[in-house]
Chains A and B, each alone.
Chain A
Amino acid sequence: MYQYTEFDQQLVEQRSAEFRQQVERRLAGRLTEDEFKPLRLMNGLYLQLHAYMLRVAIPYGVLSATQLRALATIAERFDKGYGHFTTRQNIQFNWLSLVDTPDILDVLASVQMHAIQTSGNCIRNITSDPFAGVSADEAVDPRPICELLRQWSTLHPEFAYLPRKFKFAITGASNDRALIKAHDIGLQLRDENGQTVTDIWVGGGQGRTPKVAQLLYSGVSVEELMPHLDAILRVYNQYGRRDNKYKARIKILLAETGIEDFRATVDAELDSLDRAPFAHARATLNDIMQRFSAVRYPTGDANLPPADDNTGSPAFDHWQQVNVKPHKVDGHSIVVISLKPAGGIPGDATSAQMNAIADLAEHYSHGELRITHRQNIVFPHVQSQHLQQLWQALHALGLGESNIDLPTDIIACPGLDYCALATARSIPIAQSISGHIRANERNTGKDLNGVTINISGCINACAHHHVASIGVLGLDRNGTENYQITLGGRADGNIRIGERMGPGVSADEVPHVVERVINLYLDKRQPDESFEHVYDRIGKQSFKQAVYNEDAADAPA
């Protein structure tokens, strides 16, 4: 993991002190709510339906055991004893008081954490591959570039008041687990003759106008990466729409200007851009690499486990097949811990669970863990010979669920239970779908790997419903919750936006719709055929009939 420099530490401490003073000015009436709002948002503090919510940054999804314990402490001392991991690899605390927030930021600063730029119209926390540095399909470890860009974007003086929020995602692997083409800017790192180069994808996003990003520049060098990003952001800051918040993201600017004209404008800005601030970017990157403490994997026969030393119960076998992923180092595994237990709230963890997971991370994963955009936790450095012990420990904590990337691994936003923007509930819908499909063994088998269900409680699509196999969008229709179904989306390098089926259905009906859709897929698929392939092959109309449980003649047109 990256270890803070003195400057990093000083910055988060000073920022915490600055926010304490801003809160005091607000409480004393020296800042109006209108003036205070962008300041608190830049520190991750939202005013939600019932209380203040703080979104804490987990830069590129990487956490230490010590940091997780601090999050557990915050949940215990200042919240109701739990936290919610989000689709942007962050954590949210939902029940806070304004006056406590400076103290919470101090707790975070003490473990090299902060909530800077987790909301507001600025460059948000950068997300990345949760398997960064350990997956077998990786060409370039993205974490040092992630850290470089964290530094570049943190307190960037020019881009603190953008037209709208701005999200980056970065991967260096061939399988995109960071959803880079659904971000304002997605960076694909590649190795070209021993040098790291970057492809810059721009204008992806979800929300009410889902767009897949377009390739703006290919093969950009490390030296030129930040000048390119400065130029892109400058053009966006000046030309992005500010008249309508729903048209203010860079995806709309790109759609309205066209990629060629957009590129020409950025090129012109690049021509005269002052490179002086970036003169030491390469040296800084090298220094950052030094500050990532390398994990020393045990080597030699004595420490390597026998190949199949994990015979155990069918339940363990199932977990091993579903939750354990291949590691780049022999004798090691990547373990994904599901935060989607039966009846649970997707992405929630209690203080007790966080503390227990921190202990296990120290025992089994070199004290390091990751948060995934599917709201689960990853242990990136587990010796394969310890898998059974780890599973038993997780099982005892109620964290042994074997459903990673299966239909019950549901993504859900906080929805109307918490969120001021929500138009319908998400969490209870996730719980009822999960409960309903668990009752049918056919709908929970590991052969359903990749069939995803994502539930957003409003059009802003925080739960990524557009890119799920089965997307559920909760809306308000004259005071009644109404859920629109989209099918055939996909959230990897071959990202696709799902297709809307038609009129929404009631909350009670959603689990039945999901079950019928899964059953149709199971009935029609050929061996190893993916959900969206079946969708394309047999067509929207067949799936519509399943959604509405109607004969072809009756289905809505």
Chain B
Amino acid sequence: MHLLEPTGNLTAAPAPANVSLAGDTPPDTLTAADVNTDAIIIEFATTADGRGFSLARHLRGRFGFGGTLLAGGKLIPDQVQLAFQCGFDGVLLTDGQLDQYATDFVDAVKNPPVTLNYRQTWADSTG
């Protein structure tokens, strides 16, 4: 298992996080105790299912989760930038994913064709 960081660095994955949540976990089934940990992995079951992005925002917002948030599962290179923008600290990749997509994952972060979204420009603006 490998870890893709927001910088585009690819390192060996850390020890498994204490809590693993399916991306489709209904937010109303979670309690503060469930996320009382240092690191959480959110698993994306399919490429087309974007619930994990909202779950990440929900954990950061409703639960004020400040620990490490990792995305696992079936993300494709075109989605990793979205994951970082939604508050993930890293994306876990299998050997198979890296074999299949060669350097596309790293490129997607290091040379993102679309570097910003509007919301960032608003938030970053000092005006």
Q: B13 on the interface (CB 8 Å rule)? A: no
Nearest Cβ distance between residue A421 and chain B, in whole angstroms? 18
Nearest Cβ distance between residue B33 and chain A, in whole angstroms? 18
Which residues of the partner chain A approach B121 to less than 8 Å between Cβ atoms?
A: 7
Cα–Cα distance between A30 and B82 once the two chains are bound (Å)? 20
- From B51, B81, B122, give the contact of A278 (CB < 8 A): B122
By a beta-carbon cutoff of 8 Å, the part of chain A in contact with chain B is 7, 11, 14-15, 17-18, 21-22, 25, 30-31, 34-35, 38-39, 121, 151-152, 154-162, 234, 237-239, 242, 265, 268-269, 272-274, 276-281, 283-284
10 contacts between A and B (CB under 8 A): A30-B102, A31-B76, A35-B47, A152-B118, A156-B117, A161-B50, A238-B51, A272-B61, A273-B61, A274-B60
Closest to B117 in A: A155
Cα–Cα distance between A369 and B102 once the two chains are bound (Å)? 47
| Given A30-B104, A121-B48, A237-B51, A280 contacting B122 (CB threshold 8 A) | yes
Q: B31 on the interface (CB 8 Å rule)? A: no
Cα–Cα distance between A154 and B119 once the two chains are bound (Å)? 9
Q: B54 on the interface (CB 8 Å rule)? A: yes
Nearest Cβ distance between residue B108 and chain A, in whole angstroms? 10
Cα–Cα distance between A330 and B76 once the two chains are bound (Å)? 56
Which residues of the partner chain B approach A281 to less than 8 Å between Cβ atoms?
A: 122
Cα–Cα distance between A39 and B104 once the two chains are bound (Å)? 15
Contact between A238 and B122 (Cβ–Cβ < 8 Å)? no
Which residues of the partner chain B approach A283 to less than 8 Å between Cβ atoms?
A: 125, 127
Contact between A277 and B114 (Cβ–Cβ < 8 Å)? no
Cα–Cα distance between A274 and B49 once the two chains are bound (Å)? 23
| Given A38-B48, A39-B78, A274-B61, A157 contacting B117 (CB threshold 8 A) | yes
Contact between A280 and B123 (Cβ–Cβ < 8 Å)? yes
Cα–Cα distance between A157 and B117 once the two chains are bound (Å)? 8
Closest to A31 in B: B76
By a beta-carbon cutoff of 8 Å, the part of chain B in contact with chain A is 24, 26-28, 47-51, 53-55, 57-58, 60-62, 64, 76, 78-79, 81-83, 85-86, 101-102, 104, 113-123, 125, 127
- From B50, B113, B114, B125, give the contact of A237 (CB < 8 A): B50
Q: What 11 new A-B contacts, CB under 8 Å, besides A38-B48, A157-B83, A272-B61?
A: A7-B116, A15-B113, A17-B113, A18-B113, A25-B104, A159-B53, A160-B50, A234-B58, A274-B61, A277-B122, A280-B125
Contact between A21 and B113 (Cβ–Cβ < 8 Å)? yes
Contact between A157 and B82 (Cβ–Cβ < 8 Å)? yes
Contact between A155 and B114 (Cβ–Cβ < 8 Å)? yes
Cα–Cα distance between A58 and B50 once the two chains are bound (Å)? 26
- From B49, B60, B119, give the contact of A161 (CB < 8 A): B49
Which residues of the partner chain B approach A18 to less than 8 Å between Cβ atoms?
A: 113-114
Cα–Cα distance between A242 and B52 once the two chains are bound (Å)? 14
Nearest Cβ distance between residue A168 and chain B, in whole angstroms? 15
Contact between A157 and B125 (Cβ–Cβ < 8 Å)? no
Which residues of the partner chain A approach B79 to less than 8 Å between Cβ atoms?
A: 160-161
Cα–Cα distance between A156 and B55 once the two chains are bound (Å)? 15
Contact between A22 and B122 (Cβ–Cβ < 8 Å)? no
Nearest Cβ distance between residue A433 and chain B, in whole angstroms? 39
Cα–Cα distance between A245 and B76 once the two chains are bound (Å)? 23
* Residue of A34, A234, A238 with highest tally of chain B CB at under 10 A: A238
Nearest Cβ distance between residue B75 and chain A, in whole angstroms? 10
Contact between B62 and A269 (Cβ–Cβ < 8 Å)? yes
Which residues of the partner chain A approach B85 to less than 8 Å between Cβ atoms?
A: 157-158
Which residues of the partner chain A approach B86 to less than 8 Å between Cβ atoms?
A: 157-158
Cα–Cα distance between A163 and B12 once the two chains are bound (Å)? 33
Nearest Cβ distance between residue B49 and chain A, in whole angstroms? 6
- From B55, B78, B118, give the contact of A151 (CB < 8 A): B118
Closest to A22 in B: B78
Which residues of the partner chain A approach B115 to less than 8 Å between Cβ atoms?
A: 14
Nearest Cβ distance between residue B99 and chain A, in whole angstroms? 11
Closest to A286 in B: B127
Closest to B56 in A: A158
Cα–Cα distance between A234 and B70 once the two chains are bound (Å)? 19
Cα–Cα distance between A265 and B28 once the two chains are bound (Å)? 9
Which residues of the partner chain A approach B51 to less than 8 Å between Cβ atoms?
A: 237-238, 242
Nearest Cβ distance between residue B124 and chain A, in whole angstroms? 9
